[in-house]
């Protein structure tokens, strides 16, 4: 009898061990949209109000420090977790994660942007390489999010608007953390990024460019969270 208990205990330990070492993919697929329409850069025109028309040229943003949570505690963290999502590059919109089979989770969390430690860590590679065009050259720091385009309501040269949102120091810290409820069973999550929701919080006739860290960048970065929803 005792022998049997020991044996079953042994097997369950082995099972847990296998579950922790065995990996399974969980894929995050980001779908950038304007309202419910797909985004076509430099091509399609979108409308928020009745008298405007908006064309998008650049939508790039960093997703970093991806974590999975279960009952309010972090159960898994991606190492070196920095991903540049670029609407012009479809491959960049899929993030494939290797997660131990045994781990249960119900939330995914990540930063929109780059944390302050990484911002002061010197030259980095991969998606953080400064050749990706997401680093300020005249003042050190990553650009968390770039949204650029044209709108007839912008009284600017070529009706352009340019938002380079970033900043990591003290009161200028523009980093935001986001929690999204996901199903651990599906192993694939579709996350919509609705740029319209963010653009609605900007009055393009008055505010059409942010190119440096500061209070405006912090304020508008706080609204980025609203763009993200998990869809089926």
Partner 1 sequence: MKRKKYILLSCMLFLCFSAFITIKTPLFRKPPNWPEPAYDFSKNPLSERKIQLGRILFYDPILSRNNTISCSSCHLQYTAFTHVDHALSHGIEDRIGTRNSPALVNLAWHKSFMWDGSINHLDMQALAPMSNPSEMDESIDKIVHKLQGTTLYPKLFYEAFDDSIITGEYVLKSIAQFMLTIVSANSKYDSVMRNQATFTLQENNGYILFKKHCAVCHTEPLFTNLQFENNGLEVDSTLKDYGRMLITNRSEDSITFKVPTLRNIEFSYPYMHDGRFKKLNDVLKHYTTGIHASKTLSKYLKDPIVLSSNDKVDLVTFLLTLTDKHFLFDPQYSYPRSVFYPDSKK
Residue 171 Cβ, how far from partner 1 at the closest point, in Å? 10
Site for partner 1 in 58-97 (CB under 8 A): none
Q: Which stretch binds partner 1 (CB under 8 A): 43-51, 76-84, 95-103, 138-146?
A: 138-146
Task: For partner 1, give the closer residue by CB, 212 or 229.
Answer: 212
Residue 49 and residue 208 in contact, taking contact as beta carbons nearer than 8 Å: no
Which of 71, 90, 123, 206 is the binder for partner 1 (CB under 8 A)? Answer: 123
- Pattern of binders to partner 1 over 140-179, x per CB under 8 A? xx--------------------------------------
Task: For partner 1, give the closer residue by CB, 15 or 121.
Answer: 121
120 binds partner 1 (CB under 8 A): yes
Chain positions contacting partner 1, by CB under 8 A: 119-125, 128-133, 135, 137-141, 214
């Amino acid at each position: 009898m005792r022998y049997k208990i020991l044996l079953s205990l042994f097997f369950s330990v082995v099972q847990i061990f296998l579950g922790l070492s065995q990996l399974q993919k969980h894929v995050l697929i980001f779908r950038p949209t304007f309202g419910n329409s797909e985004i076509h850069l430099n091509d399609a025109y979108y409308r928020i109000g009745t008298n405007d028309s908006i064309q998008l040229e650049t939508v790039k943003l960093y997703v970093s420090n991806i974590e999975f949570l279960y009952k309010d505690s972090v159960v898994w963290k991606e190492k070196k977790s920095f991903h540049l999502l670029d609407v012009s590059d479809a491959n960049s919109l899929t993030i494939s994660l290797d997660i131990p089979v045994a781990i249960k989770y119900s939330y995914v969390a990540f930063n929109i942007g780059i944390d302050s430690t990484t911002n002061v860590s010197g030259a980095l590679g991969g998606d953080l390489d400064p050749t990706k065009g997401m680093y300020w050259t005249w003042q050190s720091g990553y650009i968390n999010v770039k949204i650029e385009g044209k709108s007839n309501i912008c009284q600017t040269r070529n009706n352009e608007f340019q938002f380079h949102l970033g900043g990591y120091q003290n009161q200028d810290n523009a980093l935001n953390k986001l929690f999204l409820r996901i199903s651990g069973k599906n192993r694939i999550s579709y996350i919509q990024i609705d740029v319209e929701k963010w653009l609605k919080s900007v009055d393009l006739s008055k505010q059409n460019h942010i190119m440096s860290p500061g209070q405006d960048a912090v304020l508008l970065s706080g609204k980025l969270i609203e763009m993200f929803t998990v869809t089926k």
